[in-house]
A = this chain, B = another copy of it.
């Protein structure tokens, strides 16, 4: 019953096989290998457009490096106040950008709204005393497992564009969003105004591989230097290429996301009939955020369930009531029905 994180799980066997298969004789280092090159072609195919892409081992660095191409040191990144880049990466974007300000915006369910974004932009009224709003960062699926529709993305990116800002997407769970929306990858990326997408694979079956996908190819100028300098240009780059090309092959990425999302839906469905549980948010990707009673929480922990209590502040969820707390349950491509059902049964079995 491990629902701590999608990164608590290991590597999809098909991706591991690809890693093994890439362990052949000597090849060119630093991304000059054929696996990496094949990956770029696959990404162009998946997104149906020209693009430039780089592979890195870290999602944190992917976001920070992508944003550093958009935001000067005297600029600001606007994002949701729950955004991973703001609350979970210990200032990585500020470091990689040379000092950019991170500005969190409040709105419900971890999804920015056009209204909230416009209100925030109105606050930039002190001229050069304020940093320059330079990039909008959207997380798809969001940190609360909610998903932006194509129209929602277009509405937000249009405001960004009108205000001279670039649009970044933190797609650590891009596959999960797509599995929910059943649109094309293009619909929620470049067609929706995204300049650079951090396309995650690690949470969904890879070992450590993320693609930084530049739809706006001008932003990729000199990016190889930024990668190297940022410690993200791996010498044996073939193993990043092997992971990502296997991830993209034959729809493995969507298959895994569908499975993880399905387990989250099953979990939510099961919990909906458990006493002492409230589900304040729609379950659209692979994250479930129930309020549970303190009693139930203690019971679940005692029975060996693994998950994280979630911070009660700034979540855009209705506040906890007395005697309950919010917890986060994450499903992955390897989460089993058995585990899900066992968790629900355990919850139901709480002695009255």
- Residues of A in contact with B (beta carbons under 8 Å apart): 2, 4-5, 7-11, 13, 16, 19-20, 22-29, 56-62, 64-65, 72-74, 87-92, 94-96, 98-102, 123, 125-132, 202-203, 207-208, 222, 224-236, 238-239, 306, 311, 313, 334
Contact = CB atoms under 8 A, between A and B. Distances in A.
9 contacts: A5-B235, A7-B235, A7-B236, A11-B239, A65-B231, A87-B129, A90-B128, A91-B101, A92-B229
Nearest to A13: B23
A5 B129 CA distance: 15
Contacts of A334: 26
Contacts of A239: 11, 207-208
Which 7 pairs from chain A and chain B are nearest by CB? A61-B231, A98-B98, A7-B235, A2-B26, A128-B224, A8-B26, A74-B225
A16 B20 contact: yes
A75 to B, nearest CB: 8
The CB with the most chain B CB atoms within 10 A, among A208, A228, A234, is that of A228
Given A65-B231, A99-B99, 14 more contacts: A9-B25, A10-B238, A11-B239, A13-B23, A16-B20, A64-B231, A74-B91, A74-B229, A88-B129, A92-B230, A95-B230, A128-B225, A132-B225, A208-B235
A58 B128 contact: no
B123 A98 contact: no
Contact of A229 (B20, B95, B203, B234): B95
B231 A60 contact: yes
B202 A58 contact: no
A130 B90 contact: yes
Contacts of A4: 26, 28-29
A90 B29 contact: no
B23 A16 contact: yes
Given A7-B29, A236-B7, A236-B202, A73 B95 contact: yes
Given A23-B11, A99-B98, A126 B88 contact: yes
Nearest to A126: B88
A91 B129 contact: no
A27 B11 contact: no
Contacts of A72: 222
A311 B125 contact: yes
A225 to B, nearest CB: 4
Nearest to A306: B26
A16 B207 CA distance: 13
A26 B329 CA distance: 14
B58 A232 contact: yes
Contact of A202 (B25, B59, B228, B235): B235
Contacts of A203: 235
Contact of A73 (B2, B56, B74, B98): B98
Contacts of A20: 16, 20
